[in-house]
Amino acid sequence: IIQPINFLSQAIPLIYYHHEFYNGKGYPDGRKGEDIPLGARILQIADAFDAMTSDRPYRKALPDGMALSELKKFSGIQFDPEIVRVFIREFEKKRGISSMAGMDIDVKEASAKPEFF
């Protein structure tokens, strides 16, 4: 699909190999560990997290915490453990910043009369 798009040519191996498992039991070629391109290992985690945390026709989205637990559970099996560690660290950092920003909103909203009274 993207092969004719010149500026995306470097993304082809990342897309092609993003279903390989860190332990070598994925597809299309059964590559494992560092034989899987780094970008494909990163894309795999992002794709899996997005799939788990998005509503699907056959199931509701998982909460972020449960999706992160799944990434940890399959770290070293399906996913590169170092990339999982970095992904979770950065996600938690971002969530912490979002939570802190949301506190201002919550404080203001808490002083307003609740709608259900």
> What percent of the chain clears pLDDT 70, i.e. is strictly above it?
82
Look up the CATH number of the domain holding residue 47: 1.10.3210.10
Element (H, E) at 57: none
Total number of domains in the chain: 1
Residue ranges in 1-117 assigned as alpha helix (H): 12-17, 38-52, 64-73, 81-111
Average pLDDT of the chain? 87
Query: Does some domain include residue 83?
Result: yes
Q: Tell me the pTM.
A: 0.79
Residue 72's domain spans which residues? Answer: 6-111
Quote the CA–CA distance of 53 and 21 in Å, as a whole number. 20
Query: Does some domain include residue 117?
Result: no
| Beta bridge pairs of residue 56 | 59
Is the pLDDT at 8 greater than 50? The verdict is yes
Query: Does some domain include residue 105?
Result: yes
Confidence of residue 21 (pLDDT cuts 50, 70, 90): very high
87 burial level (CB within 10 Å; 0-12, 13-18, 19+): buried
Is the pLDDT at 85 greater than 80? The verdict is yes
Task: Look at residue 1 in the predicted model and tell me its pLDDT.
Answer: 85
Query: Does some domain include residue 12?
Result: yes
Confidence of residue 98 (pLDDT cuts 50, 70, 90): low
Task: Look at residue 113 in the predicted model and tell me its pLDDT.
Answer: 43
Q: Please tell me the number of Cα atoms within 13 Å of 13 on its side-chain side.
A: 8
Residues 6+ positions from 12 with CB-CB distance below 8 Å: 2, 3
C-alpha separations of 75 from 46, 71, 105 in Å: 13, 6, 36
Confidence of residue 114 (pLDDT cuts 50, 70, 90): very low
pLDDT: which is higher, 96 or 100: 96
Query: Does some domain include residue 34?
Result: yes
